[in-house]
Chain A
Amino acid sequence: MSDMTHVTDELELFALDALPASDRARIAAHLAECPACREQARLLDEVAVALPGTLPERAVPTRLRARILATAGAERAVPRPRRRTAWASWLSPARVAIAVLAIAVVVLGAVDAATMRELAVTRAERDAYADTAVRFSHGGQTWYMAGRDQWAGSGGTLVAPSKPDAAAFIVFHDLRPVTSGAVYTLWLVDADGRWMRAANFMPNGEVAQTVTLDTPVQGFAQCALTIELQREGKRAGPLVMQSRISQPQ
C-alpha cells in the first residue's frame, strides 16, 4: 500500500463529488489500495446514488435510446484495437504523446488520473471506430443482411444516411475468406429484378469491414452479396446474404 494515510475525513466529499479533480484523483488512488476506506466509501456512495431517486422524472428524448444503441452498435461492428504486449510497442508516437500529456496534466493537477487513463483508452478506441460512428450518427435507414447456408454467422448492416451528401455503406461482420481470384460483390437490385454491381471487395480478415457504396440505394428494392470470379458483368456466383431495402415514400 503506497499511502497509509486514510482519507476518512474526505469520503463524504468524494461521495458527493464535491472535490476538485486533483483531490478526487488522490482519493481514488488511495481507495484502490485501502480496503477499509473503500468499504466506507461504498456505504457513502450508496447514499449518494439514492439521491437521484428524489428527483421528478422528466420526459427523455425518444431519440436518445436509438442514439446510444447506434453508437454502441457501430463500436461493436468495428474491432477493438489489438492489445500489443511487447513493451516496445508502447513507444509508438501516439502513446508517447498521450503519456507525456498525461504526465503534464497530472503534474499540473488539472485533470484527475482516472480520467486520463480512461482518456488514453478511449482515444485509442475512438481512432478505430470514429469514422463509422460518425457515419452512424448521421442517422438514416438501416437494414441487416444475415449470411445464408455455409455463410451463416456472417452479416452486414446497410446504412443509408439521412445526410444528403453522405454515401451509403455496409458494415459487414465475420466475412469468410474467399478462394483465390474470387471477390465479394455487392449488388443493388431494382423492383424489376435487375442486378446492378455496386462494389467488389476482398475480405480484410478482420471481424468487421466497412464497404462504401458508389451508388445511392434510393430506387432499389434489394441489396445482396455474392462471391464472383469476374469483377464485371452479370451475377454468376453464389448468394451469401440478401435483404429487402424498402424506401420511404
Chain B
Amino acid sequence: MADHASRRDANQPTDDALIGALAGRDLTALAVLYDRYGRVAYALAYRILGEPEAAEDVVHDGFLSAWRGAGSYRSERGNVRGWLLSIVHHRAVDVLRRKTTFRPAPLEVAEQRPADEDTAEEATRNVEHATVRAALEALPQAQRRTIELAYFGGYTHVELAEIMGVPLGTVKGRMRIGLQKLRRALDREHRVERTETLR
C-alpha cells in the first residue's frame, strides 16, 4: 500500500522518521503523528463504539501505546498509518466486546467530506479512499456486509455465522473473496499512481 508520507511535502518528516523520533521520546513527533492520523483514528473508533467518550479514550490509549511501543514498530510489516490504525481498531473492538448490550448498526453509506477540507494532500489521500469505498460498494452485498460487520461491528466469525444464518465456512469464504477483490482494487490504484509518477 502506498505510504501517504511518500506523497507528502519533502520538507515534512516521513512517518518512519516520526516513529524513530517517538522512540526517542520526542513529543513534537507525537503531535505531528496525531495531526496526521488522529482524525481517521477517531472516526474508526467512533464507528466501532458509537460513543464519543469511549472513542476518545480508545484513541488516547492507542496513541499512548504507539508512544510507548514505537521501538517495536517494524516497517517491513506495514506502514505507520496501518500500524496505528491496527492498534486503535484492536483496542476499540476489545472495548466493544466487553460490552454485551451495544452493537452499532451496519455501516452507513460513507459521506463525502466537505470540499473546503480538500487540501492537496487530502485530495490525494481521498483518491485511495475513494478507490476502497468504490470497491467496497461494488462487492456483492453478502461479502460487503460480512466484512463491515466484522471490521466495524466487532463481531467474531462465530457470531457472524449465527446472525447471518450461514455456516462458518461461508463467513470465511465471503471474507476471503471480498478482501481479495479489495486488494486487487488497491493494487490497480497503486499501479496507476506509479505510472503517473514515472511520466
List 7 other contacts, CB 8 Å, given A21-B94, A42-B78, A50-B128: A48-B89, A51-B136, A52-B89, A55-B40, A56-B43, A67-B56, A68-B64
Residues of A within 8 A of B30 (CB): 68-69, 72
Residues of A within 8 A of B183 (CB): 43-44, 46-47
Residues of B within 8 A of A16 (CB): 147, 150-151, 175, 179
Classify the secondary structure of B's interface with A: helix
B157 touches A13 (CB 8 A): yes
Classify the secondary structure of A's interface with B: helix
A53 touches B133 (CB 8 A): yes
Docked pose: A51 CA to B144 CA in angstroms: 11
Query: What 0/1 pattern do residues 1 to 26 of A give for CB contact below 8 A with B?
Result: 00000000110110111111100000
Binds B, one of A57-65, A219-227, A237-245: A57-65
- Residue ranges of B at the interface with A (Cβ–Cβ < 8 Å): 1, 25, 27, 30-31, 34-35, 38-44, 46-47, 52, 56, 59-60, 63-65, 67-69, 77-78, 81-82, 85-86, 89-90, 93-94, 107, 110-113, 117, 125, 128-129, 132-133, 136, 147, 150-152, 154-158, 160, 172, 175-176, 179, 182-183, 186
Q: CB within 8 A of B39: which of A15, A17, A57?
A: A57
A47 touches B176 (CB 8 A): no
A125 sits at the interface (CB 8 A):
yes
Docked pose: A15 CA to B44 CA in angstroms: 15
Q: CB within 8 A of A45: which of B82, B117, B132?
A: B82
B111 touches A56 (CB 8 A): yes
Please name the residue on chain A nearest to B72 by beta carbon: A118
Chain A, interface residues (CB within 8 Å), range: 35 or more
A218 sits at the interface (CB 8 A):
no
Residues of B within 8 A of A68 (CB): 30, 34, 59-60, 63-64
Docked pose: A15 CA to B81 CA in angstroms: 15
A47 touches B129 (CB 8 A): no
B77 touches A61 (CB 8 A): no
Q: Which of A46-102 contact B (CB under 8 A)?
A: 46-58, 60-61, 64-65, 67-69, 71-73, 75-76
A-B contact pairs, 29 of them (CB 8 A): A13-B172, A13-B175, A16-B147, A17-B93, A18-B150, A18-B157, A44-B179, A46-B1, A46-B183, A47-B186, A49-B1, A49-B78, A49-B86, A49-B89, A50-B129, A51-B147, A51-B151, A55-B44, A55-B110, A58-B42, A58-B46, A64-B42, A68-B64, A69-B31, A71-B64, A72-B30, A115-B94, A121-B68, A122-B68
